[in-house]
Amino acid sequence: MVFSSVVFLYIFLPIMLLIYFIVPKKFKNAVMILASLIFFAWGEIRYIFIMLLLAVMDFLCGKKITEHYNDKNKKIVYLLINVITNLAILFFFKYADFIIGNINNLLGIHIPLLNIPLPIGVSFNTFQSLSYIIDVYRGTVQCEKSFYNYLTYTTLFPQIIAGPIVRYETVDEELVDKKISIDNFSSGMKRFIIGLGKKVLIANNVGALWHVIETGNYTEMSTIFAWTGIVAFALQIYFDFSGYSDMAIGLAEIFGMKFDENFNYPYISKSITEFWRRWHITLGSWFRDYVYIPLGGNRKGIVKQIRNILIVWLLTGAWHGASWNFILWGLYFGIVLIIEKAFLLKLLEKLPKIVGHIYSIILILVSWVIFAFEDLQKVIDYIKAMFANSCICNSEGLYYLQNYALIILIGILASIPIWKIAKQKIDKKESKAWEIITTFGYLTIFILSTASLVTDSFNPFLYFRF
């Protein structure tokens, strides 16, 4: 994984960018398609053909829906063909073994598991395709007339592996007319470097601490050690995921395209409702627009609103993984959000902001325990270690807390908008000295990230499996 990351960042990506900027405008999409196919082949070459066949189906169904736009029956047939096929592929690769395993446990039989490797980014790719075909069906976007352009959209390698989920309407014009400029290149490189630093310098380091703690004995773990561990995981998953999103958004800007933001400092939230407006924004908006609102949203009474929220969060949990802990994780948030909508949000608004922050952080950290362990007994044991442990502190907990205190502190400070606010104020002064300092800062982050990638073997991408 380290070798692949280094080769991609320092050999493949620079060569691809050089070719991209050299070739005439009409060939830029071809370069992006080729780069995307190479990137996917690097991970799992045999799945490229499935991706290409689905792209052909999406494109043809979109055209057929447009051709028969006034014929509701034909429209819905092509919509269903596309939606069912995309979901069937997702279901087969992601959930087949989960279903087989549960049937085996329930009936006491031994149907062999398929053990099929999950295609990289299959969940993101599926949701992106579904958003296109549904929007064409609704008439909110025009179908893409060029398969060449559609293939560019559906294979966009900067984001297809771990988001953000890019809707066709966001990039349809830029598939034809990309806004390539020195300013966009500079801004995109800065964003890419920030994402790289988040991932390599923060996520990987706090992830190493979490790896030690998650493999420990939770029944003998001190309270401080348990809380240190889940804080480390919370920082790891945030900087891992938001770092990748930043890199994708930065690369898109370099290519002359604009992707939607995916994170907005979620850990400063004062409620879980606010948290989910700030965390994985494109996934939340996808479920809102394509599931929650079509089901009726909050327009058909409180009972149906509760039903709709539970359906959305059951699906959100299932989207993240084929395991009962993800289902439980989704329902956990669904229930909390229902309680907040019923009365808790109004109560929190009357209390000091710090109360809302503490409430939110505690519930978020508990949610990450559910998310982190597929074994539900481990979830119970770990939560007990956090809240019902006779041992508050021991030498092991203090040792790891002392050794990782600095990176945890850096992670906490980087997860609140201190730097963003300071930068906005200083940028207004247009100081040359400040430009030099920030340039040196970006260069330092890049050099440190490079050194870390070359020397460190611990480099997981948590969201690649989704």
pLDDT tens, residue by residue, 121-165: 788 889 999 999 999 999 999 999 999 999 999 888 777 666 689
Q: How far is it, in rounded angstroms, from Cα 43 to Cα 458? A: 18
The answer to whether the CB of 198 falls within 8 A of the CB of 370 is: no
What's residue 436's pLDDT?
A: 82
Other CB atoms within 10 Å distance of the CB of residue 187: 14
The answer to whether the CB of 226 falls within 8 A of the CB of 218 is: yes
Residue 148 burial by Cβ neighbours in a 10 Å radius (0-12, 13-18, 19+): middle
The answer to whether the CB of 37 falls within 8 A of the CB of 29 is: no
What's residue 273's pLDDT?
A: 96
Q: Which residues of the chain have pLDDT under 50?
A: 1-3
pLDDT by residue (tens digit) across 3-29? Answer: 455 666 677 788 888 999 999 888 999
The answer to whether the CB of 65 falls within 8 A of the CB of 91 is: no
Per the annotation, the verdict on 320 as an active-site residue is yes
CA proximity to 159, closest of 60, 21, 292, 262: 262
What's residue 456's pLDDT?
A: 67
Q: Where do the structural domains in the chain lie, given as residue ranges? A: 21-178, 183-465
The amino acid occupying position 428 is: K
What's residue 430's pLDDT?
A: 64
What's residue 40's pLDDT?
A: 77
Locate 460 and state its tokens: 């997981």
What's residue 115's pLDDT?
A: 85
What's residue 466's pLDDT?
A: 53
Locate 101 and state its tokens: 């395993």
What's residue 439's pLDDT?
A: 85
Q: How far is it, in rounded angstroms, from Cα 127 to Cα 160? A: 10
Locate 427 and state its tokens: 């940028």
Q: How far is it, in rounded angstroms, from Cα 201 to Cα 221? A: 27
Phi, psi of 321 (to 5 degrees): 175, 155
Burial 261-289 (b: 16+ CB within 10 A, else e): ebbebbbbbbbbbbbbebbbbbbbbbbeb
Q: How far is it, in rounded angstroms, from Cα 354 to Cα 365? A: 16
CA proximity to 313, closest of 294, 297, 292, 299: 292
Q: How far is it, in rounded angstroms, from Cα 23 to Cα 28? A: 6
Q: Model's pTM, two decimal places?
A: 0.91
User: How far is C-alpha 69 from the geometric centre of its chain's CA atoms?
Assistant: 34
Sign for the pseudo-dihedral over CA of 134, 137, 138, 139: positive
Q: Distances in Å between the alpha carbon of 194 and those of 16, 244, 247, 439?
A: 21, 10, 8, 12
Q: How far is it, in rounded angstroms, from Cα 414 to Cα 417? A: 7
For the chain, give the longest Cα–Cα distance.
Answer: 72
The answer to whether the CB of 263 falls within 8 A of the CB of 270 is: no
Other CB atoms within 10 Å distance of the CB of residue 366: 18
What's residue 287's pLDDT?
A: 96
Q: How far is it, in rounded angstroms, from Cα 230 to Cα 18? A: 42
Q: How far is it, in rounded angstroms, from Cα 389 to Cα 76? A: 56
Single out the catalytic residue among 68, 280, 320, 357: 320
The Cβ-side half-sphere exposure at 417, using a 13 Å CA radius, reads: 11
Q: How far is it, in rounded angstroms, from Cα 353 to Cα 271? A: 10
CA proximity to 132, closest of 151, 119, 118, 148: 151
Query: Which residue in this structure is represented by tokens 């002064």?
Result: 429
DSSP code at position 45: G
DSSP string, 6-65: HHIIIIIHHHHHHHHHHS-GGGHHHHHHHHHHHHHHHHHGGGHHHHHHHHHHHHHHHHHH
Residues 6+ apart with CB under 8 A from 34: none
The answer to whether the CB of 324 falls within 8 A of the CB of 234 is: no
